[in-house]
Amino acid sequence: MDEPSSNRQSAYHVGRVSSLSDIDQDLYDAMRLYLIDDLGLSEEVARARAEQEQHRKIAVSVATSLAAAGIRLDGVKALDLGAGLGAMSEELVLRGADVVSLEPGANWARLTRRRVERHGGRFRLVEAFGEDIPLAPASVDLVVSLQVLEHVKDPAKVLGEAWRVLRPGGHFYLACENYLAFREAHYQVPWLPLLPKPLGRLYLKAIGRSPKFLDEAITYTTYPQVLRDCRRLGFIRHRDEEMAEGLRTKTGAKWDLLRVVARLAGAKAPAAIDRARHTFKFGIYELFRKPGG
């Protein structure tokens, strides 16, 4: 799996757990060892995050948010784009979705398969890269991608593939890192926005951390660029639609002020202000819709 189009990082490919019959323990160990061995995080931090993975806490939160946005999960065809250790795939299967998990890392793909297949739901795992998704155009209703985009070589191409496989009217939930923030989220250390990698390597070595993960597995993603790529493809940002609806129907001082802004600066100004608020925030969390359907 040395494809030049995508990052290769040993944690995703090389088995570090004993493949016990207890898949939950294997998942816990895989996440804990990854955080300690590759990122140099403390045992305490690694154990807390491994427990989150084991119990699907992030996946449950995402699925709950999707349901709250009116997005049906039961019976939908869903793509987990960059499944990792399979928490999102498992949660979607448990909520009745027909799930395709895409995960290029051989070891993590094996763990994901064991994790999800035990439930007997509608599930298929594909070992492939996000730059070339082996699915037909307009073949899925929902794409979910959690903390993946910053680990691929060509984020714009991955976004284009998400657009291609999503049917008109379908939804795309994206979470990834924002490298305009003053933090490197994987190493959990302060970080200058878009810090050149040669300086980043020196910095990590100076604080006793290995730069291997930075070299192998990180591509700088930024909120403005991700948003531009998604808008260029034609995706509609859910928050923009919420803003437009709120300006039409909601009352209160906040909305009165935003309506004044819209009258003075143009109808698109409130949504532009909302987008600007996220420019330097930790992480990118957006829900998009593909028009039509």
pLDDT along the chain (293 residues), means of 10: 48 58 91 94 97 96 96 96 97 98 94 95 95 97 97 97 98 98 96 97 97 94 97 96 93 93 92 91 97 88
CA distance 213 to 2: 16
Closest by CA position to 132, among listed 81, 98, 182: 81
Cα gap 282→178, rounded to integer Å: 6
Neighbours of 1 (CB within 10 A): 12
Closest CA to 26 of 85, 104, 84: 85
* The pLDDT of residue 290: 98
Q: Which of 82, 77, 112 is nearest to 97 (CA)?
A: 77
For the chain, list the domains and their CATH numbers.
Answer: 10-181+213-237+281-289 (3.40.50.150)
Q: Are 246 and 40 in contact (CB under 8 A)?
A: no
**How distant, in Å, are the alpha carbons of 27, 29, 51, 88, 225 from that of 22?**
9, 11, 15, 19, 42
Q: Please state at what angle helix 253-265 crosses helix 269-277, rounded to 10 degrees.
A: 110
Neighbours of 56 (CB within 10 A): 21
Distances (CA, A) of 58 to 52, 61, 62, 200, 239: 7, 5, 6, 28, 20
Q: What stretch of H or E contains 247?
A: helix 238-249
Query: Could you tell me which residues come within 8 angstroms of residue 224 by beta carbon, excluding any fewer than 6 positions away?
Result: 180, 279
Of 151, 141, 128, which Cα lies nearest the Cα of 10?
151
